Chains A and B, each alone.
Chain A
Amino acid sequence: MGEPEAKLDKERRAFIKKVLNGTIAGSLLLVIPMPMGAATPEVPEQIPGIRGKKWDMFDQRFAFIVDITRCIGCGSCCVADRREFNVPDGYYRTWVERYLKDFDDEVYVDSPHGGFDGYQSPRTDIEVEVRDTFFVPKLCNMCKEPPCVQVCPVGATFKTPDGFVLVDRERCVGCAYCIQACPYSARYLDPVTRTAEKCTWCYHRVRKGLLPACVTVCPTGARKFGDLNDKNSEVYKLLHEHEVLTVLKKDMGTYPALYYKGLRREVV
């Protein structure tokens, strides 16, 4: 007669165990806040109005504004850019230049390692009294009349209808004409693939509603990117206000979509 009792005992024990486990786990859930969405983290849309809509190739206008009055030369943008695209050492899709001016209005420019390591120390190789100094981040200007596209003999670099100048790595033969044609020196020949490479304003991110990597990481908001079709975007407001906005090398007739706020005439 002991057998059924023993069985019952075991069942009861298992039942009590289950109930206890359930209550403990349940109360713990209430007490400890679980990290939400651990499996699929929400990535908020940084450029409003892009997700959940079909990309209209012919109805896009973007602009990039670099505010050099806010740039502190930390080099976050260069670090992010290198990591986003795995750019080989010694090549730069974006870089930060340092301009120094002395009391005779002479200009000294340097950019050690493209600003990748930041600017840790003042310049020691010149013996002049520095009157003024500022940083100028450089990247692709996304010209409306791009000289690099004109010179490409195989149609490997082109301007998309939505306004981005891109490189087709499959078609590029590595002749480097475009590298010479670019007035802003924004291009380089990739040492591994032997094809031309350049800043794309993070086209792959923009298409998914994210800001370019360099804009995302900029701690001071010196780099701004936005949709000009959106009248509430920061770039739209800046471009339509009385701001000191200029482009680089206007006389080249390239009509860049990259504007600099507070740019000085010394910058080329």
Chain B
Amino acid sequence: MKSSYNSHIKRIVLGLLIFAVVGFVAKMVLTPKSFGKYGPYRADAIDEEANQEIRHMTNASCLSCHPYEANIHLTGLHKTISCEFCHGPYADHVKAGKVYGKLPVKKKEEIKVLCLRCHNKAIQARPGEVIKTVIMPEHLEEQKVKVSHTCDQCHHVHAPLKYINRAKKIVGIKEKS
């Protein structure tokens, strides 16, 4: 085939055209859907993140099925504490409105460890107006009880001063100011 005077231009244009078409098709195929809707990323990833499973609910959702605990918890000093912190997340207990698993209830030594997470005076940086702190075992000695006592033998875990206030009322002790 005899090459005409402009065949090299034709070849270059054809080459560029093929490059453009292949490039365009590749871009169409390889770019994920919703890419570039808000910026150089996949906009669907936002919805994926938003639709993740919620595992923690609120205290209100726990207490709506546990009215007995609600009565105690909401009247005590521990009302700001989340149920799910001590007992575990809602999602491990209820699924689609049905009870699905049992959540553990802390006992004995575990309770002591749990209480001292917040109430240990040995850790400074716990301001008195935020939290009452004690030193163990001095607190037990001061209150004249056995050193082997666990916290929940005197303090109700949901309302720490429940029994103590009741006892004070019976005995007739006035609050120290």
By size class, the interface of chain A is 35 or more
B67 touches A35 (CB 8 A): yes
B170 at the interface (CB under 8 A from A): no
Q: Of all chain B residues, which has the CB nearest A71?
A: B125
Proximity string of chain B (113-152) to chain A, C-beta cutoff 8 Å, 1 when within and 0 when not: 1001110101111110011000000000000000000000
Proximity string of chain A (152-194) to chain B, C-beta cutoff 8 Å, 1 when within and 0 when not: 0001111111000011111100000000000000000000000
The distance in angstroms between the C-alpha atoms of A122 and B5, with both chains bound, is 90
A259 at the interface (CB under 8 A from B): no
Q: With a CB–CB cut-off of 8 A, which chain B residues contact A71? A: 125
The distance in angstroms between the C-alpha atoms of A41 and B117, with both chains bound, is 30
B89 at the interface (CB under 8 A from A): yes
Q: With a CB–CB cut-off of 8 A, which chain A residues contact B89? A: 80, 83-84
SS class, residues of chain B in contact with chain A: loop
Proximity string of chain B (71-87) to chain A, C-beta cutoff 8 Å, 1 when within and 0 when not: 00000001011101100
Task: Give the segment of B19-27, B52-60, B153-161 that binds chain A.
Answer: B52-60
Number of A-B residue pairs, CB cutoff 8 Å, is 156
A120 touches B54 (CB 8 A): no
Proximity string of chain B (35-70) to chain A, C-beta cutoff 8 Å, 1 when within and 0 when not: 100111110011011111111111011001111000
B32 at the interface (CB under 8 A from A): yes
A35 touches B88 (CB 8 A): no
Q: With a CB–CB cut-off of 8 A, which chain B residues contact A257? A: none
B41 touches A156 (CB 8 A): yes
A200 touches B49 (CB 8 A): yes
With contacts A69-B127, A207-B50 known, is A33 near B67, CB below 8 A? Answer: yes
Within the complex, the shortest CB–CB distance from A200 to chain B, in Å, comes to 6
B104 at the interface (CB under 8 A from A): no
B123 touches A43 (CB 8 A): no
A119 touches B45 (CB 8 A): no
With contacts A220-B130, A220-B131 known, is A171 near B125, CB below 8 A? Answer: no
B111 at the interface (CB under 8 A from A): no
A135 touches B41 (CB 8 A): no
A113 at the interface (CB under 8 A from B): no
B56 touches A204 (CB 8 A): no
A118 touches B117 (CB 8 A): yes
A219 touches B56 (CB 8 A): no
- Tell me the A119-134 residues at the B interface (CB within 8 Å): 119-122, 130, 132-134
A122 touches B52 (CB 8 A): no
Q: Of all chain B residues, which has the CB nearest A205?
A: B54
A130 touches B124 (CB 8 A): yes
Within the complex, the shortest CB–CB distance from A213 to chain B, in Å, comes to 5
Proximity string of chain A (34-61) to chain B, C-beta cutoff 8 Å, 1 when within and 0 when not: 0111111111101000000000010000
A219 touches B80 (CB 8 A): yes
Within the complex, the shortest CB–CB distance from B72 to chain A, in Å, comes to 15
Q: With a CB–CB cut-off of 8 A, which chain A residues contact B122? A: 121-122
A73 at the interface (CB under 8 A from B): yes
A43 touches B60 (CB 8 A): yes
The residue that A210 contacts in the complex, of B32, B58, B116, with Cβ under 8 A, is B58
The distance in angstroms between the C-alpha atoms of A166 and B35, with both chains bound, is 15
The distance in angstroms between the C-alpha atoms of A43 and B141, with both chains bound, is 44
* Interface positions of A (Cβ within 8 A of B): 33, 35-44, 46, 57, 69-76, 79-80, 83-84, 98, 117-122, 130, 132-135, 155-161, 166-171, 200, 203-205, 207-208, 210, 213, 216-217, 219-221
Instruction: Pick the 6 closest A-B CB pairs, nearest first.
Output: A118-B117, A168-B45, A158-B41, A217-B82, A204-B52, A133-B125
Known: A158-B45, A204-B51. 11 other contacts (CB 8 A): A36-B64, A41-B65, A42-B60, A79-B85, A98-B125, A159-B39, A160-B38, A203-B52, A207-B50, A217-B84, A219-B78
21 residue pairs from A and B, CB less than 8 Å apart = A37-B64, A42-B60, A46-B58, A72-B126, A72-B131, A73-B125, A79-B85, A135-B125, A155-B35, A158-B38, A158-B41, A166-B45, A166-B49, A168-B48, A171-B45, A204-B50, A204-B52, A207-B50, A213-B56, A217-B82, A220-B80
